[in-house]
Amino acid sequence: MNITTEEKLKLKNQGFIPQRDGECFACRVITENGFLDSSHLRKVSEIAEKYGRGEVCFTVRLTVEIPWIKYGDIDNVKKELAAAGLYSGGTGNRVRPIVACKSLYCNYGFINTKALAEKIHKMFYLDFYNKKLPHKFKIAIGGCPNNCIKPDLNDISIVGQKVPAIHESNCKGCKKCDVIDSCKIGALTLINGKIKIDRKKCNNCGVCIKAKCNFNAISCAKEGVSVFIGGKWGKVSRRGDKLPGLYSIDESLSIIEKAISYYSENGNTKERFGDMIDRIGRDVVIKNLIIAPDS
């Protein structure tokens, strides 16, 4: 394959990644939110059969890769993807494809991560695609505090939260309490015949709120999302910082936008967002990102 390094970089930025054999490319197909319908899956399979070796692999950022694409077939692959409403990309020093858990398809999730991921994809992947950043920037969305998306290992993440409220006057101190039994992290206990909650242990997963209580001793006090910033995983890892309080979806989108702009203006070349936070100072960065949280 006799093409220049410049051409290879151009193709990589378009989602065609040179493979180690030096002859072929892996086409990275964007899913936007981790979902593909059956027609899209069929088209991906057809392209893999027609231009590759019939193989497809899935990346950790919920994109689909079709390996073994020859250089001469790249334009045809682009055209066939476009005709099916698909496209390639997801590389370079920019916002990377959005990772979202399946949430409403899960027993625990309670925010619509599918719809939210589509919105974030449009706002910060597509609309910011030509906004070059110091390094890659990864965004993740979790439907609940089970943390399947590993929120503290992404540059910025939002996680659904449901804050329980205990109504002690309604509590009858039942010997067998479904509400207490539902909590798997021991945040709920019965003290002097009344349910008590340890806020330091509670992660606002909302499971206890769904538990059956015939006396309405528990309800949802507040819903929102928590926000984590500055996480990364790889050769050198960094646990992300959780911002104080809870935020609405719109507030969290504002924080994401501020974070990307702040990173673009203040990050050094090849410096990850979390490394920039450590260099500038956590409190300084957070002050520039957050609005007054609904704590």
| 112 and 250 part of one domain | yes
Domain of 262: which CATH number? 3.30.413.10
pLDDT of residue 1: 63
Say what the pLDDT of residue 243 is.
95
Does 90 reside within a domain?
no
Please state the domain count of the chain. 3
Is the separation of the CB atoms in 90 and 30 below 8 Å?
A: yes
In angstroms, the Cα distances linking 180 to 147, 184, 186, 213, 245 are: 22, 9, 8, 10, 25
Residues 266 and 141 in one domain: yes
My answer on whether 66 and 188 are in the same domain is no
| 31, 58, 83 - which closes a domain | 83
75 with 195, same domain? no
241 and 145 in a single domain? The answer is: yes
The pLDDT score that the predictor gives to residue 201 is: 95
Q: Are 160 and 121 in contact (CB under 8 A)?
A: no
Residues 155 and 230 in one domain: yes
Could you tell me the residue range of the domain that residue 27 belongs to?
A: 5-83
Give yes or no for a contact between 241 and 282, defined as CB atoms under 8 angstroms apart.
yes
In a domain, 93, yes or no: no
Whether 283 is in a domain gets the answer: yes
- What pLDDT, on a 0 to 100 scale, did the predictor assign at position 10? 93
* Strand 241-242 versus strand 24-29 pairing type: unpaired
Pair (240, 150) in one structural domain: yes
Three-point CA angle 11, 123, 118, nearest 5°: 90
- Which CATH number goes with the domain that contains 201? 3.30.70.20
Supply the pTM of this predicted model. 0.93
Q: Annotate the chain with three-state secondary structure.
A: CCCCHHHHHHHHHCCEEECCCCCEEEEEECCCCCCCCHHHHHHHHHHHHHHCCCCCEECCCCCEEEEEEEHHHHHHHHHHHHHCCCCECCCCCCECCCEECCHHHCCCCCCCHHHHHHHHHHHHHHCCCCCCCCCCECEEEECCCCCCCCHHHCCEEEEEEEEEEECCCCCCCCCCCHHHHHCCCCCEEEECCEEEECCCCCCCECHHHHCCCCCCCEEEEEEEEEEEECCECCCCCECCEECCCEECHHHHHHHHHHHHHHHHHHCCCCCCHHHHHHHHCHHHHHHHHCCCCEC
Tens-binned pLDDT, residue by residue, of the chain (295 aa): 688 999 999 999 999 999 988 889 999 999 999 999 999 999 999 999 999 999 999 999 999 999 999 999 999 999 999 999 999 999 999 999 999 999 989 999 999 999 999 999 999 999 999 888 999 999 999 999 999 999 999 999 999 999 999 999 999 999 999 999 999 999 999 999 999 999 999 999 999 999 999 999 999 999 999 999 999 998 999 999 999 999 999 999 999 999 999 999 999 999 999 999 999 999 999 999 986 544 4
Residue 22: per-residue pLDDT: 84
